[in-house]
Structure 1
Amino acid sequence: MGLFERYLSVWVALSIVAGVLLGQGFPALFSMVASLEIAHVNLVVAALIWVMIYPMMIHVDFSAMKDVGKKPKGLALTLIVNWLIKPFSMAFIAWLFFDVLFARWVDPQSASEYIAGMILLGVAPCTAMVFVWSQLCNGDANYTLAQVSINDIIMVFAFAPLCALLLGVNSIVVPWQTLLLSVFLYVLIPLSAGYLTRKILGSNGVTALGRTLKPWSIIGLLTTIVLLFGFQAEVILSKPHIIVLIAIPLLIQTYGIFALSFVAAKRLRLPFNIAAPACMIATSNFFELAVAVAISLFGLNSGAALATVVGVLVEVPVMLSLVYIANRNQHRFI
């Protein structure tokens, strides 16, 4: 492992601190960067995600994609957890904490909005960053792409009904611009670039290029962390107690879903390069979509929007910890 990988937890911690300090010291700069967005998709973050995802996309072998269907257990695990377990467990945990355990510290109106924001996170499975987590676990690039693609197709049809059911509202207006633009930016563009690179360089050239690009992928990840925490520096410093209250059930949900998926993957006897990405996909969230829906339903300054933002802040460092846990337990798999 290189310098970045060996001390990744240290770099992440420093990036979080740097993001908060820079966001507090240069709020105008971060506000300008945050304004560079289309349909709630920040273009600077999108570019950084390209830097992270591209090294994995060059390893996608389209000729081998046909073999993914021969290993359906990993796909089944991801879909069952994402659509039949995770949304309902998130709704239950959110209700348990904000309607019961935290009731004395949070007023009922704010509690209901925090619950709504957490539910929106639970119903939106990840599209982009999961490629990064898979790469850090040496996941099967072809299989990860298939899992993400199937999730995206299901999300088009299932996201709105599930949100309406769990939020208790009559209908949900899906922000199609956010959904489709995210898939275009985070999947189609880097996948196309990876395909062209593979076609031009061949497998040997791609292997050498992958080694060269790997440090840049980590740099892109750390820069993204700095930006995400810089964007929300004012909220973090002005409402630390609320951030903590929202983060606690989100952490329990995330680690709980990962543990469930990890045990299930072991019982299904999945190979590690399929099991690890399956667990990451089942655990992570599509935060751009959740934020967009929270803002459209409840408003920019609502508790629901704040809860989705806390989900963004929690996700990256927590998912990196799960990558570490998965890699440390690789020997338990085939």
Structure 2
Amino acid sequence: MSTLDRWLPLWIVLAMAGGLALGALVPGFDDALDELRIGTVSLPIALGLLLMMYPVLAKVRYEELGRLTGERRMLWASLILNWIIGPLLMFALAWIFLADQPEYRTGLIIVGLARCIAMVLIWSDLACGDGEATALLVAINSLFQIVAYSVLGWFYLTALPDLLGLDTQGFEVSMWEVARTVLIFLGIPLVAGYLTRRIGIQRRGEAWYTQEFVPRIGPWALYGLLYTIVMLFAIQGDAITSKPLDVVLIAVPLLVYFFVMFFAAFWTGRALGLGYARTASLSFTAASNNFELAIAVAVGVFGATSGQALAGVVGPLIEVPVLVGLVYVSLWLGRRWFTDAPGPELREAQPA
């Protein structure tokens, strides 16, 4: 693993601190960033999100999607965990922990609807998961997300609360607003990644593409992530530093969510006999959220300084250290529950 990957949690902490420092030390910096927008799309955030997601989507083996027809257990388990259990669990946690905080509650539900992509590839790799299976599940979830996200957003933010007699506090999200944001921040890099891979392999061959091109663009995903975190924390710096208890309120249901989803998926993989590597892939794709997309939706629909955006920003603040810890939990469980888990020498080679 590269130095950038190995010390990713440190770089993220430094990016958070840098963003907070910019927002606090440069007068009006947060307001100036928030004003750089076209419609509801924040240009500084858009740049970082597109930069972050393109390299990851350019790595996906789109030509291998057909192989999933032979992995129906894993595919169905992933779809059920990601699109039924995950959103329902986050909806329940949001109303249990944040019933009197409608903005944070909505932001948390938006996070729950944004399924795995991007960073899950790193967690799966660190845990010695099946890299190809992870990439394929990410591709399937990416495509499903474009089709279903706006419908699920309307269902969980408007229809279901009304059906249950819950007070939505007037927070209704236009299906078109969400769909537009998904298409911009997921559709554009997805199409770009697909075309890059197809054209690159056709012209230069798969060996050149995977061994030379992909390693060159790979680090830019993390550069984009760090840049985005700096921008978001600069915009949200006042809210984070002035409302530390609110950050804790948002963090608690997120912690419960990550642990429940990870262990539910790990048990499911074991019960289905998927083997360690694919169980690890299933677990991290179920436990991870596409906080890039969640932030984009929250910022695009509600604004960069909204409570919904703050809930999205707290997502990576909690997800990164928790999932780094779950990498080691996965390896530990693998040694005890699976005969095909990586040996001690591989575990010791994983980055700290």
Structure 2 CA distance for partners of 1:44 and 1:268, relative to 1, 3 Å: farther
Matched, 1:161 2:161: no
2:294–2:312 contact (8 Å) kept in structure 1:
yes
How many angstroms apart in 2 are the aligned matches of 1:112 and 1:214?
38
- Where does 1:2-151 land on structure 2 (aligned, <5 Å)? 2-38=2-38, 40-99=40-99, 108=100, 111-122=101-112, 124-126=113-115, 130-138=117-125, 139-140=131-132, 141-151=135-145
- Which residue identity lines up with residue 86 of structure 1 in the other structure? G
How many angstroms apart in 2 are the aligned matches of 1:267 and 1:132?
26
Identity fraction in percent: 23
Matched, 1:287 2:294: yes
Q: Aligned-pair distance for 1:323? A: 4.4
Q: Aligned-pair distance for 1:330? A: 4.5
Question: What is the number of residues matched between the two proteins?
Answer: 314
Structure 2 CA distance for partners of 1:293 and 1:261, relative to 1, 3 Å: farther
SS at match of 1:85: helix
Structure 2 CA distance for partners of 1:56 and 1:201, relative to 1, 3 Å: farther
Structure 2 CA distance for partners of 1:187 and 1:37, relative to 1, 3 Å: farther
What is the RMSD of the two structures over their aligned residues, measured on CA atoms? 3.1
Matched, 1:233 2:227: no
Q: Structure 1 stretches of 5 or more lacking a match?
A: 100-107
Q: Structure 2 stretches of 5 or more lacking a match?
A: 126-130, 163-167, 341-352
- Where does 1:233-312 land on structure 2 (aligned, <5 Å)? 233-270=237-274, 274-283=278-287, 284-285=289-290, 286-288=293-295, 290-291=297-298, 295=302, 305-306=306-307, 308-312=308-312
TM-score, length of structure 1 as denominator length:
0.79
Structure 2 CA distance for partners of 1:325 and 1:148, relative to 1, 3 Å: farther
Aligned twin of 1:182: 185
Aligned twin of 2:214: 210
How many angstroms apart in 2 are the aligned matches of 1:42 and 1:217?
19
TM-score, length of structure 2 as denominator length:
0.75
Structure 2 CA distance for partners of 1:272 and 1:11, relative to 1, 3 Å: farther
- Where does 1:214-225 land on structure 2 (aligned, <5 Å)? 214-225=218-229
Matched, 1:201 2:197: no
